[in-house]
Every structure is written in structure tokens, then in C-alpha cells.
Structure 1
Amino acid sequence: MSGIGVETQVSAPRFEPRFLHVAFIALVTLTFYAGTIDNYWIKDDLGVGAFTDGEHLDWGHLPSFWWPSHMTSEQYWRPIPITLGFVDYAFWGTNPCGYHVVNTLLHALVGVLVYLLANRLAGFANPTLGFVAGLAVVLNPIAPEAVVWVLQRMVLICAIFSLSAMLAWLKAIETGQTRWRVVGYLCLVGGLLSKEVIGTLPGVLFLMDLLYARADRSLRQRLLTAIRWAIPAALLLAAYIGCRYALWGRIDLKYAGLEPMEYARHNRVFELMGSSLASSVLPVNAGIFSESAREALRGAMLAAYALAALRGVWLLAVAPRFRRLVPLMAAFLVLSFAPTMLAFWIDERLFNGRFFYQPGIAVLLTVAVALWHSPRDAERGLDPPSWAGRIVPYVGSALLLGAFAISLAGGLRAFEQGSQQVRDVQKAIVRYATDLRDHGVEPVIVALDTPSQVRGVPTFETNLRLALQPPLVARAVPCIPLL
């Protein structure tokens, strides 16, 4: 049936998510991140006082984040994560535990959405592939910076909106119901107001219309449909860009107060691109693991990728669904990566790992599907060898998930140590300032070498003074931090 606001309907297979799969993905997330729940604030999280008037929660500050024309150095327009921060403060105050719980639950939700998306893209041929994809994402050692660093929940929220938009778009293509397109547009807007990188998502949605339309539709029909539904997305994106220009007279943003190209030169982004990508897909914190342990874990990850690649070559020959999934995930990877390219550098301790959180989803989803996809539409005479069909999925998954689990556990220890440093330094300075005040001396602390990182985990940098102000301490301690 066709008409205004209704597309030609495509027969969609039914899929009931397996409760045990979803529950286990959530349980694994909570189990691994449980040790970080009582972590203290790090780096920008120390600015939790932005939600207050210096002592109590002040909702009057919130409108300035929805239209942040006051920002001059770094023009971030991310009101949705900030609003969630205000809600968190209303419940938890300055206790970071509640914030960590929320971030961990958001990360678990990402894993569940990956589970749903992988199975839908693979035509529900084998629910295990979505299960492995979801586990790989929640266990990815590149993720802790986005999860444990509370402020970086914007990365998690953006990923949730991106995955939800893709699921809604597929539903719209399958059912022909316009309401799912509207859900996709709303997710796009929500993502834009969470983190700018989702601005390239319309390209992925456009490709979905080309790849996943009904098989009997011509290329011209597919293209016209894709263009038709891309126009509202383009208008929403144009409105967002127009608002950014109205706020700051520019459409891009600065990094650490630097222009994008200046930041890239300063941090040798292009020179280090190869090593940054290696750290992203083979994530093992060199600050935690010895060289031999690191090479062993990376070797296991490489072996899993190799097995997935071998099986993927066979799938490309026999599985039309896999042939559609590969270019779609390649586009998702490239378009998620492109907006951060000038700021993309990840060192061997996985510092800045948050930049590969969403691109990593595309990689791991593809790997899981390559390992586990059981094509119902495989051409006759091209069945896989018995070892490939029976052993490879289990061996590849065990290697990848096992190496990820060990690497993640070590990386999370680094975050515990980093947050402990912040807590210890804060307590020591407050105690010293209290002693001086007891003797009638008003202190001014000059930190000649402010701690910056612990094993790749950001700690203070320029935010030491925030740790010494209300609401984190009862009485402010004047501080001049030098790096």
C-alpha cells in the first residue's frame, strides 16, 4: 500500500529478544564496572559545582546550557547530558556513586541496542551473533573513559541515539510506517544536542534506504526514496548548524582552546594516526600490563579478527545480508570517525579512548556477525567447511571476549588509581589548609607540578582549583595550579 506518509510495506521477520541474552549483557556490564562505582571525580567532573549556586542545586543555571552563548573557549552545545547531570545532582549531590551507576547503566543499554541492531541487520538468522556483539561492546577496553569519566556520558548518550535511530529507520523500511521515520529524526535531534559526531548519521540512514529496500525495487526507486527521507534530516542538520553559527559565529568547535588544525599539529594527530588506530582496535593499557602480557592479549585479539575475516570472506560470497551489512557498517565507522579526526589521538595507555567508542561499535558488530552469521539464503554448494561452521565462531569469540575481559579489568584498575590520586591530593591540601588556618594563616596553594594523569587516566590538569572549592569542600582553598 502506498500513499501520503506511507511507504510500500516490506515483509519483516519477527524477532523476540531473548531475555537471558539481554540480562546477561547487562549483568556483565555491571559486574565489570562495579569496582568503579565508588570512584571519586576526575578532571572535568570536578566542575560538578556548575549545577549549584556554590552550595545548593540551582536549576536557574540550566537555561544557559541550552543556549550556551557564554562559552568562548570551547563551544560545546550538549544540553541533554548536562540536563541529566542536573537531575543526578538532585538525587546524589556531590556523591559520585550515583553518577557512576547511571553511566554504567547507559553503557549496558548501548550493549543491548547493539544486540538488537546486529540481529536485525543479519535477518535474525542466529541470535548468538547479537549476543556476542553486545558483549564485545560492553567489554571493549577502549570504553572506560566514556563510562567512568562521568562528564563523558555524552559519548554514551550519543551512541544510544545513533543506534536507536538506525533501529527505527530499519523498522520504517520494513513496515512502511512513517512514525518510525519520525522516531529516527527525533533521535537525530537528541544526538545533536548530546554530541556533535552524530551529525554524519544521516549518511548512514541514506545508505540504509538504498541497501535494505524491498528487493524488487529498482535502483532509481531506492534512490528517490532515500533522497525523499534524507531531506528532513538535512533540514534538521541545517537548523542545528544555523543555531551553532548564531551562538558563536562558526560551525566547528575548538579543542582545548585551540583551532582544530592547530590542535592536530600540536598533538601530532596525523603523525600518530597509525598507532592511535592500533590502540583503538587492539586496546590494552600499556601503563597496567607488561610488554609480554600486552603482546599476548593483542595477539589473541588479532587472532579473533583474523578468524572473523576468513569467515567473512566466505559470507561475502554466499550471504546477501552480510554483503549489505559490510558497507553499512563501513559507512557507520567512517562517518562516526570523521568528525573527530582532527582530535583523534589515542596513546598506548588508551588515553582519549572515548574517541573510538562509537566507531568501535561498527567494528565489533561486524566481527560478531562475521563469526556467527548462519545465512539461510546461502547458495547451494557453498556450505562452509565443518571446522569453519562449528569451531571458528566459538574460538574467535572466546579469544576476543577473553582478551577484552582481561584488558578491561586492568584498565578499570587504572581508573580506580587515578580517582584515588584526586581524592588523596584533595584531602591532603584541605588538611594542610585547615592546619594553617588553625594557626591564623590564610593559605594560598601554588601547585608547581599539578598531577595530570595516572596510567592514562586524566586526574587534575587545570582543574585542581575546582577540587578545592564548594560544594566539594566546605571552605574554599585558594589555589594556583601550574602544569
Structure 2
Amino acid sequence: MRWLRVVLPGSVVVIATLWLYAPALRFELAGDDYQWVQHAHLAMHRPMLLFADLDTFYRPASTWTLALDRILWGYRPLGYHLTNLLLHGLAGVGLALVGRRLGLPWLVGWALGLLWATSPFSEEPAASVAIRFEDLLLLAWLGMILAWPRPGQRWRTGGGVAAAGFTALALLSKETWVITPGLVCALEFGFRKTDLRRALRTALPFLALALAYAVIYFLAFPGSKNYYEGSLRPLLKVPHQLAAFLVLEGLAPLAFSLSAAGVVAVVATAFVVVFGLRRHNPAAIVGAALLLLPMLPTLLVPYLPTRYTSIPYVGFLLLLAGAAQELVRETRSGWRAVEAVAAVVVLALVLVAGAVAVRADLNDLRRVSEAHRTLLGEARACLDRFPLQRPILVVREENDNPLRDITTSPLGMPKLLFPRHSDPYALADAAALFEWVFGREEVSVRRFDDGEQRFRESDGAVLAHRTGGFSWLSLEAPRLGELARTTREAGSRTRIIYGAHLP
């Protein structure tokens, strides 16, 4: 009946995740969700795109899951959100199993899984369809840890194949996978308890793969990564993030400063890491790797959405649990009951506070959903005259910005929502939005950023968006590309989109 020791608590973690995020099941898709679903739609008709990037973001594992969602759910957003929540709950289960694998007590492992799955620090991958790649990457790393041989064990064929498969899944999930060699080193040194030189040798093939990936990535996608800042100021988000994890200050998404709480958090975290290393605690060492290494690729990005805190929080929980395990081993037996009660009280408080914060944040996401629902209704109202096989100039003639209104008056944590200023209400890509509204498998709607030149001599249609809806200004506009150029130069925000039947 050992399987019950996994199935029963695992069900609790998944059900708790579904219960906490149940309001999200009624939300519309939002923002980048539409572009990712659009990409998956096209990939189902052109299979090579199943391994393609989306705007230089190479995350095909997300494309695969979204293609499966399209097969299962079609154009019902509930199904896409349900997949997200199941992936998130499964990641919580994976964390619990990893905790057990690394030597933590059964109850502690499952407490960590539940704590992470319901934490506001892991919220964005659960609530945003476009951000599910974070949970896919985490699942890949957790799977790799579970496949890693224990101390004294030799590699077996099944374990090697599983580790290789999870490494491949990580590679196909998100670019942050390149820190995998560091995780491998931590597993060898901290979990298998090999010497550091052997751990580094084991990590070498992973390092070679990561370096080859990085070279190919920047050769294949040479576009500007304009979200990096050419200064050291973004580094201040590291002490701020650690302080937020330690509940010393609230998490802010940008405009970081070095606070006393941040200094205390850095010193405390460094002490715990050193303590875990000196005691050679597997959970502490692997946790330190998962806490610190995933921060590296985004160190110079000057903002901190919860997609960036999700995996580091896994490492933080493992690090603290491993250090606490060592402290308990040194404590006299008479005090252990007191420590256990104190730990339960702290965990319960953090769990409740996290759930309350998530529910408050979902109120903000409900406002985002309602703004998109309004825009979807406006798009459907003009769909009967939407021409296929000809370019359409979409002109944004309103200055409404519901995302700005939500971020300036949040009901939950301070948050960062990214507006798309050239699109209606700055909410969602116009082409991806209309493709979703069409709801027809055989119809694709694309955005052409080079449309002014491409359609310079083409006839097309002009669609204006004003507060309250879309309005067709012309269905027979000559030289649409030239019209788009003059309209843009006059100060209007424009997009050129093109609807067509897929072969």
C-alpha cells in the first residue's frame, strides 16, 4: 500500500491547488495567451513549427501542451486554465517527492509541496496560460532529481534514459535550462556525496550541451534582448526577493532599492547556505542550487514578476527544510516537540497568508479577464464583415488602458502587467485576438510587422478601434501599406493583419 502514501497526499496538493485557483477557471485568456495559442494552432497545420520559437522565445514544450489543449478544449478558455492548474498541482507533488528523495521526512516533503503550490510566489505560472513554461521547466528538473541515483548506487539504463529525457524536456521548456550543469553538480556533490572534482566532471557533458545551445540560440535568434538593463541596479532585486521569501518585506515587481530587510535577508541566506554545505545536507545543497542558479539568466532584467520567483522559491523551501533538519538533529530530544509545534504554527501561518494573498491577486486577474471579455465581445460584433485573403489596417483611436488602471490600484500584491500599446485597449495582439474570435480551425489571422512595405500597393480594409467597439472605415482602401505609413506618421497606433484559410 506504499502507493497510497503518494496518491492520498498528492491528491490533497492537487485539490488544494484547484480549490485555491478555482476563480481562474472562469477567466478569459489574456495578453500573450492568444499569441501562444495562435502559434500552437499554426503548428498543428505546419508540424515543423512544433519545434519553432515564438518571437525568439524557444519554448516548444509549451506549444505541445497548447496544441493538446486545442484538441481537447477547442476555444473554451476553461480547459486551458485547467491544464495550467493541473500542471501546477503536479509540480507541487513533484516537489514533495523530491523532498523525500533528498532525505526530508514524509510530512515535511508534502508540507513543502502544498506550501509552494499555494504560494503567491508561484502564482503567475498557475494563473497565466502563456507562462506555463515555468512549471514545465520545474517539472523537468524535479523529474531529473528523482531519476538521479542515490548515494552508492550506479547508473542504470532506465534512470539514465529518464534523466536524459527530463534534460531534453528542460531544454525545450525555457532558456533558463542552461543552468542545469550547476544543478547536476549540486546533485552529485550534495545528494550522491561524491567529491567536488568528480561532480564537476559529471556536469561537463551538460555544460557542453548548454554552451552549444547558447551559441546556436544567439546565432538563430540574433534579435535585440531589450529587456536587459545595462547597469547593476537590477541586482538589487536579489536581496529584495530573499527578503520577500523571508516575509521581511512585500514583493515589489520593479524599482528596487537596498533596504535593511534586504541586507538581513542576504546575510541570513548566506549563513543558511554555508551551514547546509558544512553539514552536507542534500536538501539544503540542492535547494541552494535551485534558489540561486535560476536567478542568473535574468539578473539584469529590471523587473521581478512572480514567474521569476516561482522556481527559486522551490529552492528556498528545500534550503530551509534541509537546514532545519540539521538543527533538529543537534537539538536535545526534550526540545524537539516544542520545535515541531513551532514549525507547524509557522507553516500554517505562511500557508494561510499565502492563500489569502493569492485570492486577493485573483481579484485583479478577474479585472484583467473582464477587460479582455469586453474586447472579445467588441471583436465578435464586427466579425461578420471581416474580409479574408486581404490585408486589414487596424487603427487604435482610443487611449484606454485597463492594465494601467489595475496596476495603479491593485486589490492584491503590486504587479506588473505588460501593455501592448499598438493593440486595442493595449490588451492583446490584434491578429491573435481575431483568430481566437473566429473560432474556426481552418482560419488563420497573422500580424505583419513589415506590412507597410509588403502591402504597399495592395487593396485592403481599414478597421478602427474606439472606446466601445470596432468600426469598419473602409472595406476597399487602395494602397493599404502606404495608408498605414501615413496613418502611423500622423501619430496613430496601427497594426496590419491578414486573415486567410489554412491549407
TM above 0.5, yes or no, is yes
Aligned to 1:416: 366
Q: 1:386 and 1:208, CA in 2 relative to 1: closer, same or farther beyond 3 A?
A: closer
- Where 1:156 maps in the other structure, the secondary structure is helix
Q: 1:472 and 1:280, CA in 2 relative to 1: closer, same or farther beyond 3 A?
A: farther
Aligned to 1:3: none
Paired residues for 1:213-362 under 5 Å: 213=192, 222-248=195-221, 254-255=224-225, 258=226, 260-262=228-230, 269-270=234-235, 274-275=239-240, 278-279=243-244, 282=247, 320=279, 322=281, 324-343=282-301, 345-346=303-304, 352-362=305-315
> Aligned partners of 2:118, 2:63: CA distance in 1, in Å?
26
> Aligned partners of 2:342, 2:234: CA distance in 1, in Å?
37
Q: 1:321 and 1:472, CA in 2 relative to 1: closer, same or farther beyond 3 A?
A: same
- Does 1:101 pair with 2:101? no
Q: 1:158 and 1:469, CA in 2 relative to 1: closer, same or farther beyond 3 A?
A: same
Q: 1:275 and 1:281, CA in 2 relative to 1: closer, same or farther beyond 3 A?
A: same
In structure 2, give the amino acid aligned to 1:343: V
Paired residues for 1:7-22 under 5 Å: 17-22=5-10
Q: 1:204 and 1:16, CA in 2 relative to 1: closer, same or farther beyond 3 A?
A: farther
> Aligned partners of 1:245, 1:345: CA distance in 2, in Å?
23
Q: What is the percentage of aligned positions where both structures have the same residue? A: 22
- Does 1:466 pair with 2:419? no
- Does 1:50 pair with 2:39? yes
> Aligned partners of 1:158, 1:51: CA distance in 2, in Å?
18
> Aligned partners of 1:472, 1:430: CA distance in 2, in Å?
6
> Aligned partners of 2:333, 2:275: CA distance in 1, in Å?
13
In structure 2, give the amino acid aligned to 1:49: Q
Aligned to 2:124: 145
How far did residue 178 of structure 1 move? 3.6
> Aligned partners of 2:376, 2:419: CA distance in 1, in Å?
10
How far did residue 150 of structure 1 move? 0.4
Decide whether the 8 Å contact of 1:162 with 1:191 is kept in 2.
yes
User: How far does the alpha carbon of each residue in 1:18-71 deviate from its partner, in whole angstroms, 9 at most, with x for none?
Assistant: 432211111101111122112101111122333346xxxx62334135244xx6
User: Which 10-residue stretch deviates more, 134-143 or 185-194?
Assistant: 185-194
Aligned to 1:86: 67
Aligned to 1:203: 182
Aligned partner (choices 145, 155, 165) of residue 177 of structure 1: 155
- Where 1:37 maps in the other structure, the secondary structure is helix
Aligned partner (choices 98, 107, 120) of residue 101 of structure 2: 120
- Where 2:46 maps in the other structure, the secondary structure is helix
Aligned to 1:406: 356
In structure 1, give the amino acid aligned to 2:341: I
Paired residues for 1:471-482 under 5 Å: 471-473=436-438, 478=463, 482=493
> Aligned partners of 1:473, 1:405: CA distance in 2, in Å?
37
In structure 2, give the amino acid aligned to 1:198: W
User: How far does the alpha carbon of each residue in 1:374-427 deviate from its partner, in whole angstroms, 9 at most, with x for none?
Assistant: 96xx36x74462564332111111111111111111112221221111111331
Aligned residues: 413
> Aligned partners of 1:274, 1:76: CA distance in 2, in Å?
28
Aligned to 1:168: 147
Decide whether the 8 Å contact of 1:142 with 1:353 is kept in 2.
yes
TM-score normalised over the length of structure 2: 0.70
In structure 2, give the amino acid aligned to 1:471: W
In structure 1, give the amino acid aligned to 2:283: L
Q: 1:420 and 1:232, CA in 2 relative to 1: closer, same or farther beyond 3 A?
A: same
User: How far does the alpha carbon of each residue in 1:191-233 deviate from its partner, in whole angstroms, 9 at most, with x for none?
Assistant: 111101121121121122123336xxxxxx6245324422322
> Aligned partners of 1:386, 1:175: CA distance in 2, in Å?
32
Decide whether the 8 Å contact of 2:287 with 2:317 is kept in 1.
no
Aligned partner (choices 82, 96, 115) of residue 136 of structure 1: 115
How far did residue 431 of structure 1 move? 3.5
TM-score normalised over the length of structure 1: 0.73
More strand by share: 2
- Does 1:449 pair with 2:449? no
Pairwise CA RMSD: 4.0
> Aligned partners of 2:368, 2:339: CA distance in 1, in Å?
44
User: Which 10-residue stretch deviates more, 442-451 or 416-425?
Assistant: 442-451
Decide whether the 8 Å contact of 1:114 with 1:134 is kept in 2.
yes
> Aligned partners of 2:125, 2:10: CA distance in 1, in Å?
21
Q: Tell me, which stretches of 5 or more residues in structure 2 are unaligned?
A: 254-261, 446-461, 466-491, 495-503
Decide whether the 8 Å contact of 2:34 with 2:436 is kept in 1.
no
User: How far does the alpha carbon of each residue in 1:44-102 deviate from its partner, in whole angstroms, 9 at most, with x for none?
Assistant: 1122333346xxxx62334135244xx6xx42221111122122112222221111111
> Aligned partners of 2:327, 2:283: CA distance in 1, in Å?
14
In structure 2, give the amino acid aligned to 1:78: R
In structure 1, give the amino acid aligned to 2:130: L
How far did residue 316 of structure 1 move? 5.4
How far did residue 240 of structure 1 move? 2.1
Aligned to 2:27: 39
- Where 1:260 maps in the other structure, the secondary structure is coil
- Where 1:478 maps in the other structure, the secondary structure is strand
> Aligned partners of 1:371, 1:24: CA distance in 2, in Å?
24
In structure 2, give the amino acid aligned to 1:192: L
Q: 1:85 and 1:435, CA in 2 relative to 1: closer, same or farther beyond 3 A?
A: closer
- Where 1:458 maps in the other structure, the secondary structure is coil
> Aligned partners of 2:336, 2:52: CA distance in 1, in Å?
60
Decide whether the 8 Å contact of 1:192 with 1:198 is kept in 2.
yes
